[in-house]
A and B are shown apart, each in its own frame.
Chain A
Amino acid sequence: GEDVEQSLFLSVREGDSSVINCTYTDSSSTYLYWYKQEPGAGLQLLTYIFSNMDMKQDQRLTVLLNKKDKHLSLRIADTQTGDSAIYFCAAENYGGSQGNLIFGKGTKLSVKP
């Protein structure tokens, strides 16, 4: 089945760019997602990318997809202290009857002023 891996921690200074990386194993995943989770809260969808795209930009967020290497990244430009959270990469799993999401363990982003 699908497996999603992420680095666990990233620390950046306010105003710098953050790049969070993710790898996945199942090349049949049609959509790949980035979610944000703040302490004690549920998951907030940030953005997603369709597997036939290699880049998607949405304001300060840029998603890059290398389908050959099964590598996904999320770049946050001009990172702010409010961006401090855990970021989850997720891939759709069509092993069952429907695309439930397979999540990585999350990357904790710390933004220092």
Chain B
Amino acid sequence: DTGVSQDPRHKITKRGQNVTFRCDPISEHNRLYWYRQTLGQGPEFLTYFQNEAQLEKSRLLSDRFSAERPKGSFSTLEIQRTEQGDSAMYLCASAWGFGLAKETQYFGPGTRLLVL
């Protein structure tokens, strides 16, 4: 396995359009995280899945954002009616863990979104 992959790597869209990003985690990992990183900032947590269940959503995740992980493997993050403020790098991370036991999150290369 070569690690976490994300597609596309870059996306340019016009304001008001919908966009969808895909994340393929490391195959044996049961946990999947989405983060957003804006210029000059560290990544900020958006949402988290354990298997197919979405267990936590940040207040950063407005109702225009939706994430799914239908079969507990790959995940998609959709942004509807994009706004210029959505321009950022969207990072996916995966991990193997149970409860509060130690886990290590491995990050993908990110999808850079530019909303014009």
Contacts and interface: CB of A to CB of B under 8 A. Distances in A.
Interface of A: 4, 30-31, 35, 40-45, 48, 50, 88, 90, 93-94, 96-106
B106 interface: yes
- Overall SS of chain A's interface: strand
Contact of A42 (B48, B56, B110): B110
A100 B107 contact: no
Q: Kindly state the interface size class of chain B when it binds its partner.
A: 20 to 34
Interface string B20-57: 00000000000101010000111111001010000110
A44 B104 CA distance: 11
A101 B45 contact: yes
Interface of B: 4, 6, 31, 33, 35, 40-45, 48, 50, 55-56, 91, 93, 100, 102-110, 112
A42 B91 contact: yes
Contacts of A103: 42-44
A61 B50 CA distance: 32
B56 A99 contact: no
